[in-house]
């Protein structure tokens, strides 16, 4: 081929690459679907083929794949009909127990040319849970000398649904002595409190029964109730009093199990056994009881389980101090958890285009990867880099996606393979790091003409030689080698 002809061939190929490149750049799209929670396995989520404008054979030929961004796989892509479906039943309360997010993210990767599409599936809440109380009935002992206006925190109900489907209100049965007040806590949770409005008289009535009902606002409304029995104590002593109405403390999520986080104290002005105070958690959720222990004698609260900021940032506990005479009072303990940089950034290689043809034009995408870090804030912000000595550059595509593109023409005869190291470091102090290697081979393109070993060959032949006899051997070599 003449020199001019060869250049033309390269230009045509470069043009083709440029077209593919443009397609790649245009293809960062977003798909959005929503499904009600608890749809059974195999339920239809969305028609991916239609929404991406891809024909069915194309999906298959281009090796379409779905990736779940989370740790569990919820979706599969049926290449037969182009539908995205549920691989597993998704219970919103389970997915969202830790975070308040209600979307599952996925990516669809198609090759030749390489396109990546981001998608999210919103899991819609259905009112599948009733508010419920940890106990069906409870006893509250109150001295007959208790002053009107005194407040008694009640146990909270729990409803794992969200929005209107979640707990909206509390109501209490009629009483001449008590009213109910519903307070909004710092954490957005509603707290029922009973207020004494009229002095109790043990000689007149020794016990009062109330029914506390919690309701949501779903359609239909669901509710749950608990019975509260109030026993009026013969009042000749003082109830213990906490030194603070709220105790606040901040702990690192990596606090050692067994560490003391706080001490609560209540003082009883009585003398003798009536002044002996013991401490208890007051009807806190069972899982909190596994996380913290309250020493009944000293009032010290210690951690009995590893904390995890990513699962829970805030604990609100109610503590009760009770004297031997049965009188009690309550206080709140707010424990705030601070994030510690405990997850290393993860590099997820989504695709590597290896081998790379050696005449690949500058700026061609040769690999795609994403990074994830499960920490929060700066601890979860990841910076990426690649080794600089190679003819490649890192480009941030969107969010946490990166592509590696060529910055020079590759020449297989000079370097036939590259190991490109990708490094990821988070913004923690100190930062946590990880790395991955992209192994790239360079594909030979016939850009060298073969060269004969000799410029001129000559041979002597005897006449009348037999047909097929060897005349001469010629040799040529090519810088390019095949594999």
Ligand X SMILES: *[C@@H]1O[C@H](CO)[C@@H](O)[C@H](O)[C@H]1NC(C)=O
Q: Name the residues that contact ligand X, by CB under 6 A.
A: 417, 419, 439
**CB nearer to ligand X: pick between 439 and 476:** 439
CA within 13 Å, CB half, 462: 6
State in angstroms the smallest separation of the CB of 436 from ligand X.
Answer: 12
Of the candidates 106, 138, 145, 144, the one whose C-alpha atom is nearest the C-alpha of residue 122 is 106
**CB nearer to ligand X: pick between 439 and 449:** 439
**To the nearest 10°, the Cα dihedral for 318, 323, 325, 330?**
-20
State in angstroms the smallest separation of the CB of 360 from ligand X.
Answer: 18
- Specify burial of residue 12 (Cβ count, 10 A radius: 0-12, 13-18, 19+): exposed
State in angstroms the smallest separation of the CB of 416 from ligand X.
Answer: 8
- Specify burial of residue 350 (Cβ count, 10 A radius: 0-12, 13-18, 19+): middle
Cβ 345 vs Cβ 369: under 8 Å: no
Cβ 35 vs Cβ 71: under 8 Å: no
Of the candidates 260, 251, 382, 258, the one whose C-alpha atom is nearest the C-alpha of residue 308 is 251
**CB nearer to ligand X: pick between 199 and 419:** 419
Distance of CA 414 to the CA centre of its chain: 44
State in angstroms the smallest separation of the CB of 481 from ligand X.
Answer: 16
**CB nearer to ligand X: pick between 330 and 390:** 390
Residue of minimal Cβ distance to ligand X: 419
**CB nearer to ligand X: pick between 176 and 389:** 389
State in angstroms the smallest separation of the CB of 368 from ligand X.
Answer: 20
**CB nearer to ligand X: pick between 399 and 417:** 417
State in angstroms the smallest separation of the CB of 419 from ligand X.
Answer: 4
Distance of CA 459 to the CA centre of its chain: 78
State in angstroms the smallest separation of the CB of 417 from ligand X.
Answer: 5
- The arrangement of strands across the sheet holding 246-252 comes to 246-252, 328-338, 314-323, 277-281
State in angstroms the smallest separation of the CB of 418 from ligand X.
Answer: 6
5 Cβ neighbours under 8 A, 6+ residues apart: none
State in angstroms the smallest separation of the CB of 442 from ligand X.
Answer: 10
Collapsing DSSP states into helix, strand and coil, what is residue 12? helix
Cα–Cα dist 101/93, whole Å: 10
């030194």: which residue's tokens? 243
Q: State the DSSP H helix or E strand holding residue 57, giving kind and residue range, or none if neither.
A: helix 56-61
**CB nearer to ligand X: pick between 414 and 458:** 414
**CB nearer to ligand X: pick between 417 and 479:** 417
- Specify burial of residue 389 (Cβ count, 10 A radius: 0-12, 13-18, 19+): exposed
**CB nearer to ligand X: pick between 207 and 437:** 437
């Amino acid at each position: 081929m003449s020199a001019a002809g060869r250049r033309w061939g390269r230009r045509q190929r470069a043009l083709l690459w440029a077209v593919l490149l443009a397609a790649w750049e245009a293809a960062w799209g977003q798909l959005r679907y929503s499904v009600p929670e608890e749809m059974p396995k195999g339920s239809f989520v969305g028609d991916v083929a239609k929404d991406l404008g891809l024909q069915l054979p194309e999906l298959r030929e281009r090796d379409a794949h779905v990736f779940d961004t989370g740790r569990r796989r919820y979706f599969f892509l049926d290449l037969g009909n182009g539908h995205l479906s549920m691989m597993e039943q998704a219970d919103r309360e389970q997915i969202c127990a830790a975070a308040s997010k209600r979307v599952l993210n996925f990516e669809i990767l198609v090759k030749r040319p390489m396109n990546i599409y981001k998608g999210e599936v919103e899991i819609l809440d259905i009112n599948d849970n009733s508010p419920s109380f940890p106990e069906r009935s409870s006893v509250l002992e109150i001295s007959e000398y208790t002053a009107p206006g005194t407040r008694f925190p009640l146990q909270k109900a729990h409803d794992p649904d969200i929005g209107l489907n979640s707990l909206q209100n509390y109501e209490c049965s009629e009483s001449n002595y008590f009213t109910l007040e519903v307070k909004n806590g710092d954490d957005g949770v509603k707290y029922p409190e009973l207020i004494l409005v009229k002095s109790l008289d043990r000689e007149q009535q020794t016990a009062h029964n109330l029914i506390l009902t919690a309701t949501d606002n779903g359609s239909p409304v669901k509710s749950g109730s608990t019975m509260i029995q109030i026993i009026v104590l013969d009042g000749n002593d003082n109830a213990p009093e906490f030194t603070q109405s709220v105790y606040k403390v901040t702990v690192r999520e990596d606090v050692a199990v067994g560490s003391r986080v706080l001490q609560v104290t209540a003082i009883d002005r009585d003398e003798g056994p009536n002044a002996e105070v013991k401490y208890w958690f007051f009807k806190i959720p069972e899982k909190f009881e596994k996380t913290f222990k309250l020493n009944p004698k000293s009032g010290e609260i210690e951690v009995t389980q590893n904390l995890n900021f990513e699962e829970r940032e805030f604990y609100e506990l109610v503590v009760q101090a009770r004297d031997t005479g049965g009188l009690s009072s309550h206080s709140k303990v707010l424990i705030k958890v601070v994030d510690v940089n405990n997850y290393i950034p993860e590099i997820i290689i989504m695709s590597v285009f290896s081998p790379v043809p050696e005449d690949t034009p500058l700026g061609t995408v040769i690999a795609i990867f994403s990074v994830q870090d499960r920490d929060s804030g700066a601890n979860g912000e990841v910076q990426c880099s690649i080794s600089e000595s190679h003819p490649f550059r890192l480009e941030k595509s969107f969010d946490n996606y990166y592509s590696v593109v060529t910055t020079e023409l590759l020449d297989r005869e000079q370097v036939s393979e590259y190991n490109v190291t990708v490094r990821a470091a988070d913004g923690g102090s100190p930062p946590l790091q990880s790395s991955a290697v992209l192994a790239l081979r360079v594909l030979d393109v016939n850009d060298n003409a073969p060269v004969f070993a000799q410029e001129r060959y000559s041979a002597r032949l005897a006449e009348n030689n037999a047909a097929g006899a060897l005349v001469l051997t010629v040799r040529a070599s090519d810088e390019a080698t095949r594999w």
